[in-house]
């Protein structure tokens, strides 16, 4: 009987699909994230590894699993896995793309609204000092209508963010390494601008890009100095795209107006000092944390195991 190891608790649908195929399934149930030591001890006899983004699957883990056929990553990203090394060992690595699109786009818009209307700050005010009473100039925010949103990374998620933002009367411009066709831009109602121009002209900047070697610290001190003093940064892409130490300094010095982060440079840790600022919203990587999205992701990873077990090609292979 083939063995499957889940390095974190996953939706019930995942284990049910695997159990229905009479696979031997073991799930890590310890407190907190699985440690490297525990992972190494668990993979020695397994045929399949299902793992979330928080589990680091490096060469040592791969070498410790001589029977491993598939690493099914529970998430759209896969920078937690040494995919190139896995390929040299003949091990397929898969992800769960597209499933997160709507959920991540909704969270992006939620953060956009929360920043502009100071919703989180207002909640904190009510729980601490309380509400002193309505006054014409009290707790002013900004309306989104007529503002410019710059989206960095314009794949499925970035395009979904654009569509939702346009419903609020927001003008959308975008940048990514590969420009869309003019016909696509007209259809989506967006404008392409060079990266520096997007940074300098946007009222809100939303990072919806995957992590690459090229975009590490794409937003650092120089970019924060180029942003409007009234501008806000939202990162729901990948943490290392933002130099959080530089972001902290920019916020403390009021170089920019505020920020919202759902992903972190040293995840799960947050750069010390950010949590003390009232113009910052911090959420615990909840971009696709919905019952609907996670169930679909769980179905994909389980079905990929079944496909490989039955001698079929896995779907969504990232190291083919």
Q: Measured on CA atoms in the order 237, 238, 243, 245, is the torsion positive or negative?
A: positive
Grouped pLDDT means (10 residues each) for the chain, 320 residues: 96 96 95 95 97 96 98 92 97 94 97 98 96 96 98 97 98 98 98 98 97 96 98 97 98 98 96 97 96 96 97 95
Known catalytic membership, residue 238:
yes
Pair 72, 48: CB distance under 8 Å = yes
Task: Calculate the alpha carbon distances from 289 to 97, 209, 272, 283 in Å.
Answer: 14, 18, 25, 11
Phi, psi (deg, nearest 5) at residue 235: -120, 105
Instruction: Please identify which of the residues 118, 238, 265, 294 carries the catalytic annotation.
Output: 238
In a domain, 144, yes or no: yes
Q: Do 54 and 179 have their domain in common?
A: no
- Based on the domain organization, do 160 and 276 belong to the same domain? yes
Q: Looking at the structure, tell me whether residues 90 and 105 fall in a common domain.
A: no
| 67 and 132 within one domain | no
Question: Which residue of the set 106, 185, 267, 307 is catalytic?
Answer: 267
Supply the CATH number for residue 264's domain.
3.40.50.720
| Known catalytic residue at 178 | no
In-domain check, residue 320: no
Tell whether 137 is covered by a domain.
yes
Residue 238 inside a domain? The answer is: yes
Would you state the pLDDT for residue 32?
92
Q: Are residues 41 and 116 located together in one domain of the fold?
A: no
The CA-based angle 168-171-175, given to 5 degrees, is 125
Please give the Cα distance from 129 to 148 (Å, whole number): 33
Same domain, 222 and 112: yes
What is the per-residue DSSP string for 259-296?
EEESS-TBTTB--TTGGG-TTEEE--S-TT-SHHHHHH
pLDDT of residue 76: 87
**Residue 131 — left, alpha, or beta (φ > 0 → left; ψ -120 to 50 → alpha)?**
beta
As a whole number of angstroms, the distance between CA 146 and CA 232 comes to 15
Identify the pLDDT of residue 293.
95
Q: 254 and 226, same structural domain? A: yes
Same domain, 278 and 164: yes
Does residue 159 belong to any structural domain of this protein? yes
Residue 314 lies in a domain: no
- Residue at 172 is within a domain: yes
Q: Within this chain, do residues 191 and 296 fall inside the same structural domain, yes or no? A: no
What is the predicted pLDDT for the residue at 1? 87
Q: How many domains does the chain have?
A: 2
- What pLDDT is stored for residue 188 in this prediction? 98
Per-residue confidence (pLDDT) for residue 60, from 0 to 100: 98
Q: Is 285 a catalytic residue?
A: yes
Q: Please, are residues 303 and 17 in contact by the beta-carbon 8 Å criterion?
A: yes
The rounded distance, in Å, linking the Cα atoms of 282 and 270 is 9
Check 265, 285, 294, 309 and give the catalytic one: 285
115 and 263 share one domain = yes
Residue at 219 is within a domain? yes
**Domain identity same for 92 and 113:** no
Q: By residue range, what is the domain housing residue 139?
A: 101-282
- Regarding whether 203 and 130 lie in a shared domain, the answer is yes
């Amino acid at each position: 009987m083939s063995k499957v190891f889940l390095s974190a608790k996953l939706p019930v649908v995942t284990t049910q699909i695997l159990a229905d195929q009479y696979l031997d399934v073991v799930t890590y149930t310890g407190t907190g994230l699985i440690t490297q030591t525990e992972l190494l001890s668990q993979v020695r006899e397994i045929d399949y590894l299902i793992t979330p983004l928080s589990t680091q699957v490096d060469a040592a883990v791969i070498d410790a699993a001589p029977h491993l056929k598939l690493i099914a990553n529970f998430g759209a990203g896969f920078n937690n896995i040494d995919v190139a090394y896995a390929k040299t060992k003949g091990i397929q690595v898969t992800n769960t793309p597209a499933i997160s699109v709507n959920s991540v786009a909704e969270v992006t818009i939620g953060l956009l609204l929360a920043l502009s209307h100071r919703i989180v700050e207002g909640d904190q005010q009510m729980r601490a000092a309380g509400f002193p009473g309505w006054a014409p100039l009290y707790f002013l925010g900004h309306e989104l209508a007529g503002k410019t949103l710059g989206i960095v990374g314009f794949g499925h998620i970035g395009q979904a963010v654009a569509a939702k933002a346009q419903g609020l009367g927001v003008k959308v411009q975008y940048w990514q390494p590969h420009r869309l066709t003019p016909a696509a831009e007209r259809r989506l109602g967006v404008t392409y601008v060079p990266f520096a121009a997007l940074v300098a002209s946007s009222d809100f900047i939303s990072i919806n890009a995957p992590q690459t070697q090229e975009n590490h610290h794409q937003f650092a001190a120089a970019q924060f100095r180029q942003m409007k003093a009234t501008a806000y940064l939202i990162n729901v892409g990948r943490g290392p795209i933002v130099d959080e130490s530089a972001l902290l300094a920019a916020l403390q010095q009021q170089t920019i107006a505020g920020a919202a982060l759902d992903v972190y440079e040293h995840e799960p840790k947050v750069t010390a000092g950010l949590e003390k600022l009232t113009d910052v919203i911090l959420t615990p990587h909840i971009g696709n944390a919905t019952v609907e999205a996670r169930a679909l992701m769980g179905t994909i990873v389980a079905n990929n195991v079944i496909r490989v077990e039955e001698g079929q090609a896995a779907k969504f292979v990232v190291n083919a």
